[in-house]
Structure 1
Amino acid sequence: MRQAEGARRGRRAGLAAAAAVALLACGAAAADEVRWRQDAPARYTVKNGDTLWDIAGQFLHSPWRWPRVWQQNPQIDNPHLIYPGDRITLRDCDGRPCLDLERGQNVVKMSPEMRALPRRQVVPPLPMSVLQAFLREHRVVDTPQELEALAYVVGTENKRLISGAGDQVFVRPVEASASAGLERGQRLGIFRQGEVYRDAAGEPLGLELIGIGEGVLADKSADMMRMNVQKSAREVRSNDIILPLETRLAAAEMEPRAPRRDVAGHIVGVPGGVRFIGRLQVVAIDLGTEDGIQPGHVLSIEQRGERVVDPRTDKAVRLPGEVAGTLVVFRPYDRVSYAIVMEATNTLAVGDAVHPPR
């Protein structure tokens, strides 16, 4: 037993040494550096509720770099599909550390009865359920003028000023495009104007729409539609916006990666009015598709340095910032994007800078 334990420790020490060599070899290219955790396990068994980010965080300081150290297994059709029960192993690949996948085997007791085995769910790259729930309640239009082309609530039944779940409302499409593609029985979102996102100079970047409920289109005509309100977090009022619900996020499009452009921006808002930002918080940043931002792009968050008074000049100066977190973009618009904070070593705030990992 002692010999076996010594052998295991020897293998782990060898892998740690290989990781150190790998770090030295790529020191000249900091942007491509892969930093292994000193406390990385030799093997990790995937659990229900894990994400690829969580799993990679067991081994790497920068979990989004996991595809660079992933060992392709020819005996597995798609090694990027990971399931609960699978085992991720830290191995030596030609003198360099890498991650390998061992498929978990379901143990089934034989019996005369036929039983249906539950279908296993693939481990997602990010907490997709959190992102999907957010998109059902938040949207951005690039300019206030776009609101003029969207369908809106024009009145309620029985001359009510406000309505809620179980009520019927009348919706007016301003233009043909507002009702094009809408079908009877389709689920629609009810939104209300929220915050205007602005850049550091005060220029508007986009207008937030906040979801207040959902309904089903009961009747449709050229100039008026009826909608049954099925659920509402707030009262439905005249002039609320009606939009189709967002389509589901595709996990395949959310593989974390660095932007190709050397962009620089800031956190400009936190939906919900939260002042301080932590892990798994959704934020708005002043970068969008016009800046080359795409779903899955990873950005480092640089916390603003403290403002102090120079003891000799008596002038206010700001100390240098420091990287204190990582976010991943999941819904970009033209000039603003929604992103989720996946790492936060300090409490973050609106105004903190974002840039590609360095």
Structure 2
Amino acid sequence: MRKLLYVLTAVLLFMQVAHAAGPELRSDHPDRYTVVKGDTLWDISSRFLDNPWYWPEIWHANPQVENPHLIYPGDVLALVYIDGQPRVTKVARSNNGVVKLSPKVRSTPIDTPVPTIPLDAIEGFLSDTRIVDPEVLDAAPYVLEGEDSRIVTGAGDRIYARGKTDADSLGVFRRNKAYHDPDTNEFLGLEAKSIGAADVKETNGEVLTLMLKRTDEEVRIGDRLLPTEDRRISPTFTPSAPDSDIDGTMIAVEGGVTQIGQYDVVVVNRGTREGLKPGNVLAVFQAGNTVTDPYTKEAVKLPDERAGLMMIFQSYEKMSYGLILKASRTLAVGDRVGNP
């Protein structure tokens, strides 16, 4: 009989844990919310949920409205219950301005869909960053010199390079950081920093003549030329929890700052092979201190403490870039990241 009680208790505990692992409404959630310009999907989901990464489970795409999966400024969102479960859906306004669940087709577009996170925090970063294989960068054409034998050049100048390419437009890149896993020393990727862009004007064997059309820094001898690529990202990826267990580390922060806070871009040593994808939300855990036991003099490691949230916005095979969305204390390189 006692064994049966143990089994029943274990089953009830499991059911409670399973039930808790899902969307949790905020105690002060709105029943209606009108989206305003400047809102992000993260902002909106945070108004309704204590755990915004469960937004996909609470969002109900109304099939009767235009673009049911996109949210625009001016849209009205309503908290409704379907089969007893809370759902957030997009509703429309009637001609007299009263909100109703039956939709009215939008006759003119309202701005653009709200982005998931503040794009101005990452757009410049994306345009200045590319992860490449070292072999690809080493095989790329490189700058020989500028016109009039100049060793540094800028926008509007002519430059000469050596190498082969079929592209009409090339980006100018400079070798930047090589990332390694702090635990295994595995090579994760090479960061190539964007310096500018140039158009190919003439090809003479292996010598290329190019005109610099944009530069962020002075172009130098030895800078590499890579084909330009469409680096626009979708602003509408959805906040979500990772599908797999993630246990990683923040290994770098953009800009070289020592203290990491909200809207800083960070690098983590986990990527697509571990199941990370854009939109995944990770918790950041600050490493616990190591203290000395006052009696035994042994070193005792204190537990890590949850200190923030980040969202992955670009992932490669072995590493990813994320944006810090929330920090309850100062974060640092070396802090652990994991499932929220």
TM-score, scaled relative to structure 1: 0.79
Paired residue for 1:149? 139
Q: Contact 2:279/2:311 (CA < 8 Å) preserved in 1?
A: yes
2:328 to 332, 340, 345: 345
Check whether the contact 2:73–2:110 (CA below 8 A) recurs between aligned residues. no
1:267 match: 250
Partner AA of 2:308 in structure 1: G
* 1:152 alignment partner AA: Y
C-alpha distance in 2 between matches for 1:85 and 1:105:
13
Question: What is the CA-CA distance between 1:105 and the residue it aligns to?
Answer: 7.2
Q: 1:249 to 1:297 in 2, by over 3 A?
A: farther
Deviation track 1:258-289 (CA, whole Å, cap 9, x = no partner) reads 33222321111112101111222111111122
AA aligned to 2:152 is: I
Deviation (angstroms), 1:230: 2.7
2:267 to 272, 278, 284: 284
Alignment of 1:263-342 (within 5 A): 263-342=246-325
Partner of 1:133: 124
2:213 pairs with 1:223: no
After superposition, the Cα gap between the structure-2 partners of 1:65 and 1:246, relative to the gap in structure 1 and judged at 3 Å, is farther
**Does structure 2 retain, via aligned residues, the 8 Å contact 1:73–1:101?**
yes
Deviation at 1:256, TM superposition (A): 2.6
> Stretches of 4+ moved more than 6 A in 1?
none
User: Displacement of 1:352 after TM fit?
Assistant: 1.0
Amino acid corresponding to residue 155 of structure 2 in structure 1: A
Aligned mates of 2:232, 2:246 — CA distance in 1: 24
Check the 8 A contact 1:205/1:286 in 2, yes or no: yes
* CA deviation profile, 1:159-212 (whole Å, cap 9, x unmatched): 111111221212222xx5xx24x12xx3x3322122221212344322222222
Distance (Å, rounded) in 2 between the aligned partners of 1:26 and 1:125: 32
Q: Aligned residue for 2:3?
A: none
Query: Would the aligned equivalents of 2:65 and 2:91 in 1 still touch at CA under 8 Å?
Result: no
What are structure 1's unaligned runs of at least 5 residues? 1-23, 108-115
Q: What is the SS of the residue equivalent to 2:155?
A: coil
RMSD: 2.8
What secondary structure, in the 3-state scheme, does the structure 1 residue paired with 2:211 have? strand
Aligned pair count? Answer: 318
Q: Deviations over 1:306-329 (max 9, x none)?
A: 232322233443311122222222
Q: What is the correspondence of 1:82-161 to structure 2 with a 5 Å cutoff?
A: 82-103=71-92, 120-142=111-133, 144-161=134-151
Secondary structure at the residue paired with 1:54?
helix
The equivalent residue for 2:160 is 170
Out of 9, 34, 39, the position equivalent to 1:50 is 39
SS in 2 for 1:284: strand
**AA partner of residue 137 (structure 1):** D
One-letter amino acid of the structure 1 residue matched with residue 324 of structure 2: V
Within 2, Cα distance between the matches of 1:145 and 1:316?
45
- Shift of the 309–285 alpha-carbon distance from structure 1 to 2, 3 Å rule, reads same
Structure 1 residues 179-258: aligned runs within 5 Å: 179-180=165-166, 182-183=167-168, 186=169, 188-201=170-183, 202-251=185-234, 254-258=237-241
Deviation of residue 30 (structure 1)? 6.4
Distance 1:104 1:352 in 2: 47
Secondary structure, aligned partner of 1:305: coil
Deviation readout 1:128-160 (Å, 9 max, x if unpaired): 343332111011224x33321222212211111
Q: 1:247 to 1:310 in 2, by over 3 A?
A: farther
SS in 2 for 1:85: coil
Do the aligned partners of residues 146 and 30 (structure 1) sit closer, same or farther apart at CA in structure 2, a change above 3 Å counting? farther
The whole-number CA distance in structure 1 between the counterparts of 2:289 and 2:325 is 24
